[in-house]
Amino acid sequence: MDSVFIYIALAALFGLFMAWGIGANDVANAMATSIGSRAITVKQAILIAAVFEFAGAVLAGGEVTSTIRKGIVDASSLSAEPEVFIYGMLAALLAAGVWLLVASWKGWPVSTTHSIVGAIVGFAVVGIGVDAVAWGKVGGIVASWVASPLIAGILAFLLFNSVQWLILSQPDPLAKAKRYVPFYIFLAGFTMSLVTVFKGLKHLDLELTTAQSYLLAFGIGLVLAIIGKVVINRIEPNRKAEKRNHFFTVERVFAVLMVVTACGMAFAHGSNDVANAIGPVAAVISVAQEGIIGQDSPVSIWILLLGGVGIVVGLATYGVRVIATVGKKITHLTPSRGFAAELAAASTIVVASSTGIPISTTHTLVGAVLGVGMARGISAIDLVVVRRIFLSWVVTIPVGALLSILFFFILRAIFS
């Protein structure tokens, strides 16, 4: 009985640490474009995350979440040794949390999904055997390092060029912004709703057909566009500020749009990526209490709350470093550029989610920011920062695996 309590306590502690890392790294880069473009402040971002990330994590975080993320590992051979599985999951949580702490300290936006996948692969290799790992799926994840940033980058490039052509290069950009931005708000609301339905609400028993999902997203987009139009029409030109910056009022119009995209991304992110922290926690608790290893474990509400709290605290306490990298250091962002990046990232996530391609929110968003920078020429991008980010992506899975192996042997030595 004592060991069961210790396993559950450690799972809760390590899961909270991992959720904190998700907040400090993943949520920070999801909010970075909005903050970097000055559409919202850091305090407003924390408030949005507190409401929408937490709501996403708790409301749509999952009745049942897969204990082995993405079906990477087959743990059925450990049915006679449930303790080995527990050590492995605890080691994976701790390893992923430590790597996210290091990456966040350095300001590197890395993938929390890839961190936990690398950690689980590391434990599986030494705890179960090399054959237990679905290497084809790991290869698919590696391929997504190139595919997701590239697709998002191209989309962001095209979106920002459309903004440039329809609004910024026109004789009266404010009048054009008031005309066209409601259409962009519809597009953002529609896309963000699809992200939420495909990625965020898949754990709820809503049973929406594809047609119903698109219809719901269309309705939400339309409502947001109408509300946006009312708000935008009330924005008066600031002639004094426009003498310093010709597009000052136009960018204020786009700032309204950035608030919509920030809220949508936060909800979808909280509902999907909280599983990276709470999946292994639910697995440890289930196996510790019942002694049976299954691919799916029920998730108690307190575990979802634990994940939600960890994510919000992580952003509030340590997110500023990653926000600075993605929002300010890669390229100079304005609300119009930040919008193009965020909408391109969301669109890429929708396509990937509906086709089952493994994808990282982080990689997608960074690729989109690069695409916006490329719209202004290669000189607008800080290539030194980009090189560091790419290097951190490459080492995430191996580092997660090595740390997991180390912690697995330590935990096994302590408890055996």
Query: What is the dihedral sign for C-alpha 99, 100, 106, 111?
Result: positive
**Which band of pLDDT confidence, cut at 50, 70 and 90, is reported for residue 351?**
confident
Please report how the helices 135-163 and 112-127 are oriented relative to each other, as an axis angle in degrees rounded to 10.
Answer: 170
190 Cβ contact list (under 8 Å, min separation 6): 217, 218, 220, 221
Mean pLDDT calculated for residue range 350-355: 68
Residue 67 pLDDT > 50: no
Per cent of the chain over pLDDT 90 is 25
Length of the chain: 416
**Per-residue pLDDT tens over the stretch 268-291:** 677 667 777 777 888 888 888 776
**Which band of pLDDT confidence, cut at 50, 70 and 90, is reported for residue 64?**
very low
Report the alpha-carbon distance of residue 209 to residue 295 in Å, rounded: 26
Residue 211 pLDDT > 50: yes
* Distance spanning both ends of the chain, measured CA to CA: 15
Mean pLDDT calculated for residue range 57-76: 60
**Per-residue pLDDT tens over the stretch 251-264:** 888 888 888 778 87
Paired strand residues for 133: 73
Contact assessment for residue 33 and residue 325, using Cβ atoms and an 8 Å cutoff: no
**Per-residue pLDDT tens over the stretch 315-346:** 888 888 888 888 888 888 888 888 888 888 87
Contact assessment for residue 343 and residue 143, using Cβ atoms and an 8 Å cutoff: no
Range with the lowest mean pLDDT among 57-66, 121-130, 172-181?
A: 57-66
Report the alpha-carbon distance of residue 77 to residue 185 in Å, rounded: 50
**Which band of pLDDT confidence, cut at 50, 70 and 90, is reported for residue 353?**
low
Q: What is the pTM (predicted TM-score) of this model?
A: 0.84
Closest CA to 79 of 287, 236, 252: 287
Task: State the chain's mean pLDDT as an integer.
Answer: 83
Mean pLDDT calculated for residue range 233-250: 84
Q: Would you state the pLDDT for residue 329?
A: 84
Mean pLDDT calculated for residue range 114-143: 85
Residue 155 pLDDT > 50: yes
Q: Would you state the pLDDT for residue 17?
A: 96
More confident residue, 307 or 353: 307
Residue 11 pLDDT > 60: yes
Distance set, CA 118 to CA 10, 68, 130, 209, 346 (Å): 20, 12, 13, 34, 25
Q: Would you state the pLDDT for residue 323?
A: 85
Per cent of the chain over pLDDT 70 is 88
Contact assessment for residue 163 and residue 342, using Cβ atoms and an 8 Å cutoff: no
More confident residue, 202 or 219: 219
Paired strand residues for 66: 296
